[in-house]
Structure formats: C-alpha cells, structure tokens
Amino acid sequence: MTAYTLLTGGTVVNSTTTVDADVLIKDGTIVAVGSFDGIAIDGLDRIDHSGSLLVPGGVDVHTHIDSPMMGTVTADDFESATRAAACGGTTAVVDFAMQLPGKTLLESLEAHHAKAQGKAVIDYGFHMCVTDLYDNAVDEFPEIVQSGVSSFKVFMAYRGTLMLHDGALFDVLRESSKAGGQVCVHAENGDVIDRLAADLIADGRTGPASHEISRPPSTEVEAVRRAIRIARMADAPLYFVHLSTEGSVEAVAEARANDWAIAGETCTHYLTLDRALYDQPGFEAAKVVLTPPLRTQTHRDALWRGLRAGSLGVVSSDHCPFCLAEKRRLGEHDFRLIPNGGPGVEHRMMVMYSEGVVQNRISMQKFVDLTSTAPARQFGLTSKGAIAAGFDADITVLDPRGRTTISAATQQQRMDYTPYEGWTIPGAVTAVYSRGELIAKDGQYIGESGRGRFVTRAGQ
C-alpha cells in the first residue's frame, strides 16, 4: 500500500500566493494542495501544523563544501553542511566543484561527486569551477552539461590560483552558452586589489581589517561592468554571485532594462552585517574576512532595493566555512593569507525572515521567491521551489510565534564561530520535510544518513 501524508492546518506560502491549505504527499511528491478535511485514505498520516507557515524548502545555490581553497579546505563536509542546511530550512544546495590542480574538469567533477555521495542528507547539484582553461578544456563543456551540471564558475580575482584573464572568461562564456550552460562570475578587479593589498603590507598594515581596505566598492563595480560587456561580446547569459555594492545593483539593473540575459544574487551577510565589524580589536575581524567584504548601510539599503525591484533575484549564503583558528594559523601575520569566507547555510532562511519579512523590507511571498523559487528556476531545479502538485515535497515549517537564538555553541555547522553570535530573532523552523520525509525538527537533524540525491539540471 502506498503511504500518504497530509500536512494540515498551515498557511501555504508560495512566491505568488498565500492560502490556508492542507498539503497531500505521496511517494515524496506533492499530490495536491487544498482542503482535505473529509478525505478518507487508508493509512493516511495526518500531521497538524496549525498556526505555522509552510514554505518551499530553501534552495541555496552558492555553497563551498569540502572545498580546497587558499591553502586549506573548508571545515564542513557534505554530511555536516547539509545537516546544518536541513536544520535551518534548506532542502537543496548547488555547490561549487573546484577544478583541482593538474586535473581536468571532468576529473575534478568526478572527485567532487565522490565527496558528496553517501554523505549529503539533502538533494544537491553542482556548478563546475573553471580556474585553468587548459588546451581543449572547453571541449569537455558539453559532456559536463549533459551530465546535469549546467553551470560554470569563473573568478576575476585571485591571480595565480583561481583567476581567469578576460580572454579566457570570454571563451568560457561563449563555449558554455553553446553547450546550453550559464556562467557564474566572481566579479572583482583582482589585479588592482593585489596592488592595494601589497601597498598595505608594505605600510605594515598586516591585520585582518586591511582586507576591507584592499577591496573598495569600485573594485567590484568595475569588474561587474566589464563582465557584462564581455558577456555581450560572447552573446552569453551571465549570473553574478555575491554582489555587495550599490554600483553593482545599478549596473545589473541597467543591463536587465536592456533585456540582456544578466542576473545577480546577493548574500545574507551583505544584507545584514556592517563593515564596522572590521574595527574589532585583535584578530576578531578575521571572522568577517569575506570576499567581497562587508559594506556600509548605503550599500545594504541598495541591495534591499535591488531585491524588491527584481534587479537582484536570489539570496544565497556563500557558505564557505573556515574556522577562526584556521584563519589565524594561515594569516595572522598577513591578511592576504587569511582564507576568505565564513559560515551561513544554516541561518540564511531565518535571518532573511527576520531582517526581511519581520522588518517589512520584503513580503512573505518575496521571501519565498528569493530563498527558494527564483534560485531553483535560475539553475534548472525544476522539481524544487514551490508547494504545488508535481513538485518534490520539500517543505519548511516556520512558526512565526517562535524564537531562534544563534550561537556557535548550538549550531550544526562545523565552525568555531558565527557572525550572528547572540542574535535572538523572531520565528523558528520547527519541521523540515525533504521529499516528504521529516528530516529535521526543532533545530535537530532526525533523518537518515546519506539520503541526499544528486539532482541533474537541464541546460538553458
């Protein structure tokens, strides 16, 4: 006998609708959304979520899990990162598969598959990072796209390790578009940043606060505008990751007003944290050595405006977890060597709910769009991002009457800090369903190990 589950009593919020309704689930898929008070099904499992909001499980399309970067490896593997994601209401991630030194793209992709297989507890996909465009590398693009990895990532910063020059960026854009893929770009003027950083070191300013000074807003805005022009030359779509500045929002808005295939995201921390954190004493500022760095209120206000206007369509976490102890080990005497990144996948949903919805910056429907529906649509996760018939039963139950306290001591992320330490925010994730299975309850993972599936994504 096929088992049915009925979630009752909740308010179902999608990106365009809000309705008091029940959700009927069968074999991991949503069968129907409506009123089923009198329904008679043998063995029906009824679960009451009265007073709660039922939203599509979060889709985080920017994570770096078990990823080699800057002389170390991110602290979370696929087990710990996806458990943390699940506890915070995220039911799918698209992670960056790094190209490994001396390895082909296909070899690197296979290695990343091996890291996730049997460990991930939620569904996942990959972007393919291209950091060395060796001879005939682009010939592998069609096979990568056909394997279900329909997006690529390039860096315009970190010369000598990750950065591609403009000609290689053009090649990746052109050839990925031919193969049906899209390109994600990290847009910063890496060469200027390197010069500014070298000047700071020469002046004896070696501490973590210099990270922000070496990456002024103009280094991002220039790269964004340059990348848009290169994408136009290549006649290819382009997606900007982790935008942090007012000028970048304006550049993307102008491109979209011309009906160019340009899209962009920002991240939770750029919307909620201030650059004043770089003024902390000692090495504390290293906790927010993120790339790009945190900005001022003027830029945060512009990012929120961009989200409301649709210039920016996605909010991701850029979960790139490096413990403070590891940051200190590598970069205590030279800020350039501090691994760039911090934790975020666990708290993205609730911080966005608190700072976005509760603070009246965005509607509840917009919250759903930014954290689930739009990222799923942008990256071809066709069964994710909505509570509707035929979609995967990935559902996050959010109790607006609850409270969430964020602390390194209680988080699931394998980290020794969180930039949101001590925040107590309205709302709480009380239950999380992945393909109809209850996998997290009240901040604790209760599902099976290694249950996550690789999700193939169609090309453009």
pLDDT of residue 458: 81
Least Cα distance to 351 among 316, 383, 379, 381 occurs for 316
pLDDT of residue 174: 98
CA distance 288 to 277: 7
CATH number for the domain running over 57-378: 3.20.20.140
CA distance 404 to 452: 26
CA distance 102 to 380: 30
Residue intervals in the chain for CATH 3.20.20.140: 57-378
CATH topology of domain 4-55+385-445: Urease, subunit C; domain 1 (2.30.40)
Task: Please say whether the beta carbons of 153 and 186 come within 8 A.
Answer: yes
Task: Please say whether the beta carbons of 161 and 186 come within 8 A.
Answer: no
CA distance 436 to 314: 25
pLDDT of residue 460: 65
**Cβ-defined contacts of 335-338 (< 8 Å, 24+):** 335/197, 335/200, 335/201, 335/206, 335/207, 335/208, 335/209, 335/210, 335/211, 335/214, 335/286, 335/289, 336/197, 336/201, 337/70, 337/71, 338/70, 338/208, 338/211, 338/286, 338/289
The reply to whether the predicted model has a pTM over 0.85 is yes
Q: Which residues are CB-contacts of 254 (< 8 A; sequence separation ≥ 6)? A: none
pLDDT of residue 147: 97
Cα 320 to chain center, whole Å?
A: 10
Angle between helices 246-257 and 297-309 (to 10 degrees): 20
Q: Which residues are CB-contacts of 202 (< 8 A; sequence separation ≥ 6)? A: none
CA distance 119 to 106: 21
Give the residue ranges of the chain where pLDDT is below 50: 1
159 Ramachandran zone, left/alpha/beta (phi>0; psi -120 to 50): beta
Token pair of 112 as six digits: 């990343």
Residue intervals in the chain for CATH 2.30.40.10: 4-55+385-445
Helix (H, G, I), strand (E, B) or coil at 444: strand
Helix (H, G, I), strand (E, B) or coil at 159: coil
pLDDT of residue 1: 40
Task: Please say whether the beta carbons of 247 and 220 come within 8 A.
Answer: yes
CA distance 70 to 263: 28
Least Cα distance to 220 among 177, 175, 267 occurs for 267
pLDDT of residue 2: 63
390 Ramachandran zone, left/alpha/beta (phi>0; psi -120 to 50): left
